[in-house]
Amino acid sequence: MPQDPAKTSALLLDDARFDLHAPVAYHPERPERLAAARAAVKGAASWVAWEKVAAREATADEIARVHDAAYTTHLESLRGQEAYLDPDTYVVPQSIAAARLAAGGVVALVDAVLAGRASKGVALVRPPGHHARPGQAMGFCLLNNVAIAAAHARAQGIGRVAIIDWDVHHGNGTQEMFFRDPTVLYTSTHQYPFYPGTGAVNEIGEGEGRGATVNVPLSAGGGDAIYRGAFERVILPVLDEFAPELVLVSAGFDPAERDPLAQMDVSDGAFGWMAREIGKIADKHARGRTIMVLEGGYDLPSLEAGLSSAVRGLLGNEADDIARDLDAPDLGKAARWAEKAGHKLG
C-alpha cells in the first residue's frame, strides 16, 4: 500500500508475543508498559506513516557476538519454565522466546534501516536489554538488544556505531561488551550512585577502546537543565566528534519525574529535545540513521508521554524545548574526564 506523502515515514518494531513475558505476580517490568508505548505510537499515526518490521528470533551467531555461549545455552534450558535469575529478573514459560524475538527484531530493524526502507525506527520491545552482561541476566534484562544490534551493524560493514543511553540506570552490560572496542561509542547519562553501581566518570574504556565510553553520572533530583547541560557540554560534542554511521538510543523513560524506581525530575518534553538533538547529529554523519529502542520506564503515563515527545523530536514534528539554565555542578568532572580520554569539547 503506498505511503501518504504528507506523512513522515518511519519503521516500527512491535510484536504481541512480547506481552507473553508476563510476571506471575506484580512486577514493574510488565506487559502494560508496552500498552503505554503503543498508545504513544498510535497517537503519532496522524503524521507518521509507520512501516512495520517483523520480529524474528535472534540467531545463535548474532547473540554470540556479545554473549557467552554458556550463558545462551543456560537461557535456552529455561524455555517453558518459571524462575528468578536474580532478585529482580524473572522468566516465565514464554520469556526466552520473547527475549530472542526482541533481540532479533532489533537486528531486523537495523537491516531495514541499512537497506534504506526509512532512516529512523522505533523498537517497542520487552524484555529490556542494557543490563544484560555477556554471561549474566540482570536488572530485568535477559539479552542485550542494543548491543546485539550494534554488533550486527558492525558485522554488516558499518564502521562506527554510537549508542546513546538516557535510561536512568547505567547500562552496565552494554558498556562491558564494548569497553575495549573503539568502533562502538557508548555514552550514558544516569542517576549516580544508584543501581547497578557502575557508570563513574573515570570508566572511559580500555586499550584501543579508551575514550569510546563516556559516562555522565548525575545526582538524584536532576531535571531538565541538568540533562541539557550533560548533553550540550559532553554527550553531543562527543557524538559529533565520533561521526557515527548509525545511532542507537537506549531509550529508558525512567528519568521522568513521576517514575517510581528512580529519583530524577525530567519532564516529558525533555525526551523530545534529547531525541531531536541526537537526530541532528545523525542527519549530519549517519544519513539520519537512528533507531530508538525501549529500555526502562515504569510510570505508565510518563512512559506514554515521554515516548510521544521522543517520537516527535526524532521524526522532526517539533519537540518541546527545555530549560536553558546549565548550572550543573557535577558536570565539570564529567567534562574533564571526557577531555582526559581525548575528546575536545570546546
Q: Which residues are annotated as catalytic?
A: 131
Distance CA 292, CA 283 (A): 15
Non-local (6+) Cβ contacts of 123 within 8 A are 13, 102, 105, 106, 109, 145, 291, 292, 293, 294
DSSP 219: -
Half-sphere exposure at residue 10, Cβ-oriented, CA atoms within 13 angstroms: 26
Dihedral (CA of 51, 278, 103, 35) sign: negative
One DSSP character per residue, 145-212 reads HHHHHHHHHHHTT-S-EEEEE-SSS--HHHHHHTTT-TTEEEEEEEESS-TTS---TT----GGGTTS
Residue 292's nearest CA partner among 109, 127, 158, 126 is 109
Q: What are phi and psi of 86, to 5 degrees?
A: -155, 180
Where does residue 4 rank: exposed (0-12), middle (13-18), buried (19+ CB within 10 A)?
Answer: exposed
